[in-house]
């Protein structure tokens, strides 16, 4: 379990770094969704079952949907 | 010790995105990462190798983990999602009104 | 040059702040275990006081039910703000929906998602779950209708007026249970003796299942209203079915 926790923590930090880097907003939102997914797996590893269920439905479901619907209404290309 | 290190790195990424980036969507993403970092630290510190706080899984109270931080984190996650939705509504309206969602083009006191 | 200097100075300050956080949290004393304090009381007396096997549900809906009331108010405030800014008076249609294969597949799957969400809401005191998680799953059914079938379908299924009625009825049920606690026992939001079956069965736990259902309706309807208000709508008259 130590190796799994260590790998998940490294991917957590990497996906957070990737989420703030790109100019095009669609890629950033996909990396935010990956961040939320890895955080759900980590919550389950620390034996918090209720919090993992809440983070799975809210972080990876509702947050991503609201971000996508906000991006489809703004002009693209206004970078950084 | 690894939990504290990951927590401080995620705080740095969140604050960097809030203060230095000029795209408004990046600012909202930075706020979301900052909130998730705090929830992660609250759950990760209270892990002492016990079992789930259920009376079907652990038969007596000694081998359970702490039940109070999980309730606070649950409340925090839902409030974070509501705040993000409200901020994105402001960005949509601002883009319809002025035609940009970049902080560099929004100078109102220039004339 | 001036802008680059400000950026580098800000990055240095944030790195120093991150190092300060790390050093400060390293100095915290080690975890003393569950021998004393509030957590000890909750773990040893939670089952006897509330009657629910899930201790997190016992904390959220019996010991700290007032905080759940505050969180419902935050969601209500966010919904009110979003509807105030983004509401329109015309009948809005977003699109005709996705292809036929997706519509057929989701037509078969969606009743099972609804059944799962009702299971998560009502079994909150026996298994992991509760009102908040199940409510968000209910809101995701509305998101599926809007994305895959078009927003006109969601408007005819459950119009925003009916969703507002569900949300306010959930909030008023919560407050009604609270004032019933004052009338019967003298304390706001006390645990009433409505469902007192055997510990571990479905009809146990005092007034916790009623609060679960009320919060599930409120959160689900509120988040569905938020997503319905935020999509891009046009007024294309040929896509609307007049009845």
Predicted confidence band of residue B45 (pLDDT cuts 50, 70, 90): confident
Phi-psi sector, A74: left (phi>0), alpha (psi -120 to 50), beta: beta
Q: How does pLDDT run across C204-228, given as a tens digit for each residue?
A: 888 899 999 999 999 999 999 999 8
Q: In chain C, where are the structural domains located?
A: 53-238
Q: Chain B residues with CB inside 8 Å of C83's CB? A: none
**Residue A48 forms contact with B (CB below 8 Å):** yes
Residue of chain C whose Cα is closest to the Cα of A72? C232
- Domain count for chain B, please give it: 1
Q: Which helix (H) or strand (E) covers residue B54, if one does?
A: none
> What's the half-sphere exposure (Cβ side, CA atoms, 13 Å) at C82?
28
- In this prediction, residue B40 carries a pLDDT of 95
Asked whether residue B110 is assigned to any structural domain, the reply reads no
* Under 8 Å between Cβ of A8 and A45: yes
Tell whether B111 is covered by a domain.
no
What does the DSSP assignment read for C168-189?
HHHHHHHHHHHHHHHHHTSSTT
Q: Is B100 within the bounds of a domain?
A: yes
Query: Which regions in chain A score pLDDT beneath 50?
Result: none
> Residue range B92-97: average pLDDT?
88
Q: How confident is the model at residue B26 (pLDDT cuts 50, 70, 90)?
A: very high
Domain of residue B44, residue span: 2-105
What does the pLDDT read at residue C243?
Answer: 40
The answer to whether position B74 is within a domain reads yes
Confirm if A73 and C232 have CB atoms less than 8 A apart.
yes
Residues of chain C below pLDDT 50? 242-243
pTM for the whole thing? 0.90
Q: What is the CATH number of the domain that holds B27?
A: 1.10.287.3510
Q: How far is B5 from chain C (nearest CA, A)?
A: 6
B91 within a domain of the structure (yes/no): yes
ipTM comes to 0.92
- Pick B17's closest partner by Cβ from A20, A67, A74: A20
Q: Which residues of A touch C140 (CB under 8 A)?
A: 57, 61-62, 65
Domain ranges across chain A:
2-71
């Amino acid at each position: 379990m130590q190796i799994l926790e260590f790998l998940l923590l490294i991917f957590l930090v990497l996906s957070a770094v990737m989420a703030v880097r790109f100019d095009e907003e669609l890629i950033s939102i996909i990396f935010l969704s990956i961040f939320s997914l890895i955080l759900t797996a980590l919550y389950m590893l620390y034996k918090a079952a209720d919090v993992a269920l809440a983070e799975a439905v809210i972080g990876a479901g509702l947050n991503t949907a609201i971000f996508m619907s906000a991006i489809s209404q703004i002009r693209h290309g206004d970078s950084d | 010790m690894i939990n504290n290190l990951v927590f401080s790195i995620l705080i740095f990424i969140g604050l960097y995105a809030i203060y230095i980036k000029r795209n408004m969507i990046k600012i909202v993403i930075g706020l979301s990462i900052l909130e998730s970092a705090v929830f992660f630290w609250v759950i990760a510190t209270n892990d002492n190798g016990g079992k789930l706080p259920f009376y079907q899984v652990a038969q007596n109270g000694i081998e359970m983990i702490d039940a109070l931080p999980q309730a606070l984190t649950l409340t925090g996650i839902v409030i974070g999602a509501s705040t993000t939705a409200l901020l994105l509504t402001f960005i949509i309206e601002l883009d319809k009104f002025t035609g940009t969602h970049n902080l560099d083009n929004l100078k109102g006191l220039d004339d | 040059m001036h802008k680059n200097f400000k950026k580098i100075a800000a990055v240095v300050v944030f790195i120093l702040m991150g190092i300060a956080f790390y050093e400060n949290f390293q100095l915290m004393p080690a975890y003393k275990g569950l021998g004393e304090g509030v957590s000890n009381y909750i773990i040893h007396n939670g089952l006897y006081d509330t009657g629910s096997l899930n201790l997190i549900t016992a904390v959220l809906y019996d010991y700290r039910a007032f905080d759940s009331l505050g969180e419902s108010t935050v969601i209500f405030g966010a919904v009110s703000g979003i509807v105030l800014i983004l509401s329109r008076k015309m009948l809005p249609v977003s699109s005709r929906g996705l292809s036929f294969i997706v519509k057929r597949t989701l037509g078969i799957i969606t009743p099972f998602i609804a059944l799962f969400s009702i299971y998560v809401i009502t079994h909150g005191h026996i298994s992991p779950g509760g009102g908040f998680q199940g409510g968000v799953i209910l809101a995701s059914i509305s998101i599926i209708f809007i994305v895959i079938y078009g927003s006109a379908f969601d408007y005819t299924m459950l119009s925003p007026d009916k969703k507002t009625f569900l949300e306010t009825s959930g909030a008023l049920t919560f407050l009604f249970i609270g004032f019933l606690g004052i009338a019967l026992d003298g304390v706001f939001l006390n645990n009433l003796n409505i469902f007192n079956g055997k510990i571990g069965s479905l009809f146990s736990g005092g007034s916790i299942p009623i609060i679960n259902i009320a919060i599930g309706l409120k959160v689900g309807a509120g988040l569905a209203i938020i997503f319905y208000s935020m999509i891009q709508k046009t007024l294309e008259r040929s896509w609307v079915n007049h009845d």
